[in-house]
Amino acid sequence: MSSRVEIRITGFGGQGVVLAGHIIGCACAIHADRHATMIQSFGPEARGSACSATLVVSESEVLYPYIRRPDIFVVMSGEGYEKYGQELKENGTLVFEQDLVSPTTVEGQRAFGVPSTRLAESLGKTIVQNIVMVGFFAGVTELVPAEAMRDAVRGSVPAGTEDLNLEAFEKGLEYARKSVSQPAASVANPSLEEVSP
């Protein structure tokens, strides 16, 4: 139980919230020898407004499949933050789309922002925003090795889009490495120029 990490990923329908959750879970369960149980939210809320996926990652079998209070909260929309922001653990990690979410800094929590939509736009495809976020998540949380995440991205995206998605992943990962090298709690982030190719 002590190794149990609970994660919630949220955004609005169409951002690829479930795919982001799937990739992180797949990286843990298939490419990193962990147990990972993903549950996606079903129901009217999955169409258009706040959409959410939860993950439990553990060294041992996951017996209780739902999350109670996440250790890591990945949020890609303001509405998602409003709905689930309060449940993050006191010492939890917040990972957010900084142009769409304006979080309140809570003492004890770590917060990492990324302009994932703009970074995706810089690749010419806004649709890979979620993969930029997955890369950023990989870098700031170091939950599993980046290589496991890369394998999961490669295996989970539509055939023919692997290169674009891996590029998006690297973009987010690189941004994370710069963020982590700076004091995290201040939510200081390098400018876009610094990470442009």
Q: Which stretch binds other proteins (CB under 8 A): 35-43, 92-100, 168-176, 185-193?
A: 35-43
Considering only 39, 127, 146, 164, the residue that binds other proteins (CB under 8 A) is 39
Residue 11 CB coordination number (10 Å)? 29
Helix residue ranges per DSSP H, 36-161: 78-84, 116-122, 129-141, 146-156
Please tell me the distance from the alpha carbon of residue 170 to that of residue 176, in angstroms, as a whole number.
10
DSSP-derived 3-state class of residue 114? strand
Considering only 3, 14, 59, 66, the residue that binds other proteins (CB under 8 A) is 66
107 binds other proteins (CB under 8 A): no
Residue 75 CB coordination number (10 Å)? 28
30 binds other proteins (CB under 8 A): yes
Q: Which stretch binds other proteins (CB under 8 A): 3-11, 23-31, 76-84, 157-165?
A: 23-31
Instruction: Write out the residues near other proteins by the rule CB under 8 A.
Output: 22, 25-26, 29-30, 35-40, 42-43, 62-66, 152, 156
